[in-house]
Amino acid sequence: MHNQHREKLFSLFDDNQNGVVFIQGAETMYRYDTDYEFPFRQESNFWYLTGVNEAECSLVLDLKKEEYHLFVPERDAQYAVWHGYVKTKEQYLEEYQPDHLHYRNDILKVLNELKPETVYCIDDEQAEFVEDLNRGFNVETEALVDALTYCRVLKTDWELDQLREACRVNDLAYLEVMKSIKPGMYEYEMKAIFNKVQIENGLMQDAYNGIFASGVNASILHYVVNNSMIKDGDLFLMDSGFECNGYASDYTRTFPANGKYTDVQKGIYNSVLAGMDKVLDSIKPGVKMEDLHLLAARTMMEGLKDMGIVKGSIDDMMEENIFALFFPHGLGHFLGLDTHDVGGYPKGVDRIERPGIKFLRARRELLPGMVVTIEPGIYFVPAVLKPAIADPEKNRFLNTEKVESLLGFGGVRIEDDIIVTDNGIENMTNVPKKAEEVEILMKG
């Protein structure tokens, strides 16, 4: 399967070009100056091209011959004593199937034999490594990044299967947490339940530092302390996922700790859900992410207006960016070997300098084979809303009494993982999100 990724990359370079691609894989990382090893996770571009999730490896792709050289560390007996089994060259060849296998200390020897006119690297640090080997090499650091980004944005069938499996297990973990939560438990207990299901299903690597936020903590977009007691009447916002062979899942659900939404909670929740549903119904090839963002924002503002939290013309609210007071982040992002995957901003495309939408992580037309998250939300953040209440230009759109009463509310976010297809979408997330279905699940 990874040979398909290399073929994709080879196809983007000129035929018979006398150049090579050089990428170093990740090194083992330690905590400060100790011997405590962080769990190893391969650098995503290297993993994409090789399938190698082992430390201290490198690759060279010969663009002229379209051949793959893999460089591996030469381990000794002491490594076996402390870290485990040492693979033979034959085992590396069988597992990863490079055209040529070398030990890592032969990188310079191989490059000298290939005599490339250009060595394409992914960053300045790796370019400096090549130049330090031989100052005669001509290195280039832009073309490879652009080419890899292009390749990784459009997923192969194998990649989509890894994402589906990550989502299948994520479904199980979310359902278990939603059935287990009770007031008086702690946020970290929810994380423990979630992680247990992932690991029981063979997924060992979290895709990002998960958010397990109760009550007012849910208004913090990247809350990761996860140590508060969950109170009766709290909403619980959970945003977490694990990886399958490097490919991430990334969901969010917001549900009542006691199993029953209050009228206010349900009103705000349904405003977010309406935004989500409108967007999912609108996704098709050619649609722009920024247009979807504004569609979600408008729909959610309509919900808040129906609840009497905001007032005035929806058109005026959109024009004056009032939506960003409640929806301060982007609608979604690309998903793949990284949770915030590459390709969100093609070369030459800039961020929109407008509140809220400037944090959109993807601004481009969607195409079949792209994978995105869709994650609208409404939050009551005192640091944002108190200045707005004091600002006459913004305050005229706010029902001050209702907004102030909600400053301890927290927030609601709903997030699904979506494959863009020729005709619309495949939604890989299979966790209830209608309020009534959530309550039925939690009731057992």
pLDDT in tens, 223-255: 999 999 999 999 999 999 999 999 999 999 999
147 and 174: one domain? no
Residue 83 has pLDDT above 90, yes or no: no
93 and 238: one domain? no
Out of 239, 290, 416, 417, which one is annotated catalytic? 239
Out of 14, 33, 35, 319, which one is annotated catalytic? 35
Last residue of a domain, one of 103, 124, 153: 153
- As a whole number, mean pLDDT of residues 259-269 equals 98
Judge contact between 111 and 20, C-beta under 8 A: yes
What confidence tens digit (pLDDT) does each residue in 309-365 have? 999 999 999 999 999 999 999 999 999 999 999 999 998 899 999 988 999 999 999
CATH of the domain at 318: 3.90.230.10
Q: What is the pLDDT of residue 325?
A: 98
Catalytic residue list contains 333: yes
Range of the domain at 248: 157-443
Q: What is the pLDDT of residue 333?
A: 97
Catalytic residue list contains 329: yes
Q: What is the pLDDT of residue 98?
A: 97
Angstrom distance (rounded) from CA 406 to CA 409:
5
CATH of the domain at 37: 3.40.350.10
Catalytic residue list contains 56: no
Helix (H) or strand (E) holding 425: strand 425-427
Beta bridge partners of 58: 24, 71
Out of 69, 253, 363, 413, which one is annotated catalytic? 413
Out of 6, 102, 333, 363, which one is annotated catalytic? 333
Question: Would you place residue 132 in the very low, low, confident or very high pLDDT band (cuts 50, 70, 90)?
Answer: very high
231 and 342: one domain? yes
79 and 188: one domain? no
Residue 1 has pLDDT above 90, yes or no: no
135 and 256: one domain? no
Last residue of a domain, one of 111, 137, 153: 153
- Encoded tokens for 290: 């920024």
Q: What is the pLDDT of residue 76?
A: 87
62 and 13: one domain? yes
Q: Is 131 helix (H, G, I), strand (E, B) or coil?
A: helix
- For the chain, the average pLDDT equals 96
What confidence tens digit (pLDDT) does each residue in 204-217 have? 999 999 999 999 99
- As a whole number, mean pLDDT of residues 18-34 equals 96
131 and 239: one domain? no
Angstrom distance (rounded) from CA 355 to CA 341:
23
Catalytic residue list contains 415: yes
Angstrom distance (rounded) from CA 77 to CA 28:
18
Question: Would you place residue 278 in the very low, low, confident or very high pLDDT band (cuts 50, 70, 90)?
Answer: very high
Out of 165, 234, 375, 417, which one is annotated catalytic? 375
- As a whole number, mean pLDDT of residues 77-103 equals 92
Out of 62, 187, 415, 417, which one is annotated catalytic? 415
Q: How many CB atoms within 10 Å of residue 42?
A: 20
Residue 164 has pLDDT above 90, yes or no: yes
Residue 81 has pLDDT above 90, yes or no: no
313 and 376: one domain? yes
Out of 159, 250, 290, 341, which one is annotated catalytic? 250
Q: What is the pLDDT of residue 79?
A: 85
Catalytic residue list contains 340: yes
Count of structural domains within the chain: 2
Catalytic residue list contains 291: no
- As a whole number, mean pLDDT of residues 151-178 equals 98
- Taking phi over 0 as left and psi of -120 to 50 as alpha, with beta for the rest, 84 belongs to left
Pairing of strands 243-244, 247-248: antiparallel
248 and 373: one domain? yes
DSSP character string of 242-273: BEETTEE--EEEEEETTS---HHHHHHHHHHH
Residue 128 has pLDDT above 90, yes or no: yes
Residue (of 94, 99, 21, 96) closest to 54 by Cα position: 96
Q: What is the pLDDT of residue 151?
A: 97
Catalytic residue list contains 35: yes
Q: List C-alpha distances in Å: 331 to 169, 372, 419.
A: 24, 10, 15
120 and 197: one domain? no
- As a whole number, mean pLDDT of residues 28-50 equals 96
Out of 102, 329, 361, 363, which one is annotated catalytic? 329
Q: What is the pLDDT of residue 82?
A: 87
78 and 129: one domain? yes
Out of 83, 124, 140, 222, which one is annotated catalytic? 222
Last residue of a domain, one of 92, 126, 153: 153
196 and 82: one domain? no
Catalytic residue list contains 96: no
Q: What is the pLDDT of residue 246?
A: 98
Residue 191 has pLDDT above 90, yes or no: yes
Q: What is the pLDDT of residue 84?
A: 85
Out of 62, 379, 416, 417, which one is annotated catalytic? 379
Out of 2, 41, 340, 351, which one is annotated catalytic? 340
